[in-house]
Structures are given as structure tokens and as C-alpha cells.
Amino acid sequence: MQIIENLKVKEKLYIEKLENGLTVLIIPKPGLLKKYIIWGTNYGSNDSTFIVPGEKEETVVPEGVAHFLEHKMFEQESGINSLDTLTALGVEANAYTTNDHTAYLYSCTDNFYEALDEFMDYVQHPYFTDENVEKEKGIIGQEIMMYDDYPEWQVYLNTMKAMYHNNPVKIDITGTIETISKIDKDILYKCYNTFYNPSNMAMVICGDFEPEKILQEVKNRLVKKSANGEIKRIYPDEPETIVKDKIEQKMEVSQSLYSIGIKDVVADEKEKVKRHIAIEILLNVLFGKSSKFYQELYSDGTIFGTPSIDYEFTNKYAHAIISGQSNYPEKVYEKFKAEAEKTISNGLNKDDFERIKKKIYGLYVKEYNDVEDISKMFLADYFKGINSFEYLEQIDLVNIDYTNQIAKELFNSNKMVLSLIKNK
């Protein structure tokens, strides 16, 4: 078992790649009552065109299969829903699907191993029939309609549609009522057998565990399955340009919602963590709660509350998103572009840079206080080819000159979009 220690947060990471290809990551937390486990597959809503290992022809499946599959995994042949079984044990269980991975999880203080029996059983034993697949279409159809009426989701999704021509990140994770109508049990089994192979999965466990012991408990519950070959994922080519610089939708909202999207280049493997850190610092210096720019907009009533600042990336896309509420969203956008231009011309203020860099570092450290934050972070980063400790190590390499250079690369007005949700 490989052991990686980070002295900054005094944490140890134990990593073991099993014979069947499953990677298990264990972060012990001696003395902590809460235990957390998350089991993920490197399979998300973006993966709708692929070549199954051993086959030559492309497989194309409808949009929304990864999310549909996640919903169906809890239902067992016995008629019992595994989520109900786990809840009865007093554990908090859930699952989620993103653009690039699907995950199943639970947390508890007691009954961890009883829950582990059920948890590892249902993830390894799918049960799909014509009847239960049809029934699920109605349930997911209602979820899709709910998200269609959710302004915060629509303003985000529209940002993706304005930025991306072809990349599937612009597609709703749930699919549409039309696309899910084409899903059947054969499609679900094919996607399960392709993407839920142990060699395409990772498990993160965090809590008061002895690494060797918990690893053996996992091994004892694994179904015998050998690693398959590489799954060839096929994504359309994506030009560097945006689709349109503005997109607007009318919904019933008390205040207008805005989302500023900035399409970024995909960083190379060695640069992605460092670039991510620099962009986090940059956006927080520019538009964070303590920035002069934010204070001006807040004081004159242009914006309400602190905007949400995110940077999202995989090896196929990268973008920054700034979103919030305003009665004058176009004014926010124009002022933001002007502030970005000023940053390119003058560079960042050194004191502001150092202060925000310390704040970002503090937030990284804080994540290690919570078993859920740790586990979700290590899983998501693992599928990006990153060890989460790298953020703690590489922040020292991010200086003001590097961040100013990233500002010149990122703040290209031709790569910026504005998504608006206004009142009907």
C-alpha cells in the first residue's frame, strides 16, 4: 500500500490499486466518530459516445443515461430499495451524477460495516427490467421538469450553451424527456458493464479506520470481476470560440439572475492545478467579498449578496463562472469587463494578492476538517488525474507574476458570455 503524507495538514493518504483494477484511497481520522465512504465511477453525462473494450464499433446512447443508471441502482430484484435499507440502519446515504463521474456514498457514526454489506452489494448487482425502467422514466421526467423551472440551474445551463458549440458539458445531466424515452434495460446494462468495471472506479474512505483492516473488509465484499481494457471515449471537436456573447431567458424571478462565463483553454497535465489556484486567487481578488470592485457594486445597489465564483475543468473543457443577482445585470457585466481590462493593464495589487492567497490556502486547509469534504474532493480530483494534496503543495508556486500572466490569458473579452434570467 502506497502512503503519501502531507505535513501541512498532518494527514496521510493510503492508496491501493487492487488486482481487479479498483483504486481504494483511505484517509484515517483517528478518534473521529463520523465515518464516510464514497464509491465512484469515471462515468458522467458527457460519456454518451464510446467504444466498449474488445469492440470496434462506436456505441452511441441517449443523453441522460449516466443519471438514469444512478437512479436505478438502488432497486433490487427482491423488490427492496437499498436506500431504504441503509436509512433503516441509521446511515445517511445518497448518490449523484456529474458531467464526468457518478458516485454512491453514505456517512454514519454506527453500523458502518452492516451498511457496507448493503452498499457494496447494490453497487455491484444492478437489476433492470422493462417494467422498472419504464416506471423510472416518469420519475426522472418530473425531475427534468422541476429543473426546467429552477432559475439558478437554467442560468448556469444557458451559460454552457453560450460558451460551447459541441462539447457535451452544455447538455443537461438529466437529459430531456425525449432522450430518456429512448433508454431501455439493454442500454443500461451495456453502460453498467462498460463503465462500472472496477478498473474504471475508485473508492475513498475517511474516518477512524486502520487502513489494512478496512481494505480487507472491502476486498471481502468485492464480487470477482477482472479489469477490462481501456474504454475509448469519443467527444466532438470544440473550437476555441464561443457560440454567442449573450443569452437571455424569461422566468418568474423577483430579481434578475446573471452568470458570467469565461471559456478557458485546457491546461496541460503539469499545469492544471497551478492554473486552477491562480484563477481562484485572481477571481477572488477581482470580485470577492473583500474586493473594492464588489464593495462599489454592493454599495450603489447594483448587486445583492456575494457572487458565486467557480472554476470547472476536465481534460476536455475549462471555464470560470461568476453568478449572482442584480437588478442591473448588464451593468455588472460591463463593469466586470472593464475591471478585467484594468487588471490586465495594471496587474494585481500585491497586498490584495497576498491576502487572498492566504485566504484560499486557509480554505484548502479547512476542507480537511470534514470527512465528507475530504472524500468528495479526493474522488473528484482522482478522476482528473490529481492528488488533492497537490493544491496544498503547489499554492507556494503561484506568485503574482504567474497570476498576472494567467489574467492576460483568461480575460479575453471574445471568450466571455453573459447569461440572464429576467422576470416575465
The CA–CA distances, whole Å, from 4 to 11, 14, 42, 218 equal 9, 7, 23, 21
The CA–CA distances, whole Å, from 413 to 239, 240, 242, 407 equal 16, 13, 10, 12
Half-sphere exposure of 136 (CA within 13 A, CB side): 25
Asked if 258 and 418 touch (Cβ cutoff 8 Å), the reply is: yes
Distance CA 297, CA 191 (A): 48
Distance CA 35, CA 214 (A): 12
Q: What are phi and psi of 309, to 5 degrees?
A: -120, 125
β-bridge pairing 23-28 and 201-207: parallel
Reduced to 3 states (helix: H, G, I; strand: E, B; else coil), residue 410 is helix
Distance CA 185, CA 63 (A): 15
Hey, which residues does 232 pair with through a beta bridge?
A: 51
Distance CA 171, CA 168 (A): 5
User: How far is C-alpha 222 from the chain's CA centre?
Assistant: 26
Asked if 20 and 225 touch (Cβ cutoff 8 Å), the reply is: yes
Asked if 301 and 279 touch (Cβ cutoff 8 Å), the reply is: no
Task: Give the residue from 334, 335, 336 showing the smallest Cα distance to 322.
Answer: 336
The single residue of 70, 75, 118, 238 carrying the catalytic annotation is 70
Hey, which residues does 401 pair with through a beta bridge?
A: none
Task: Give the residue from 30, 78, 24, 348 showing the smallest Cα distance to 208.
Answer: 30
Asked if 328 and 297 touch (Cβ cutoff 8 Å), the reply is: no
Is 58 part of the annotated catalytic residue set?
no
Distance CA 199, CA 335 (A): 48
Asked if 59 and 49 touch (Cβ cutoff 8 Å), the reply is: yes
Task: Give the residue from 23, 61, 51 showing the smallest Cα distance to 39.
Answer: 23
Half-sphere exposure of 373 (CA within 13 A, CB side): 8
Catalytic residues: 70
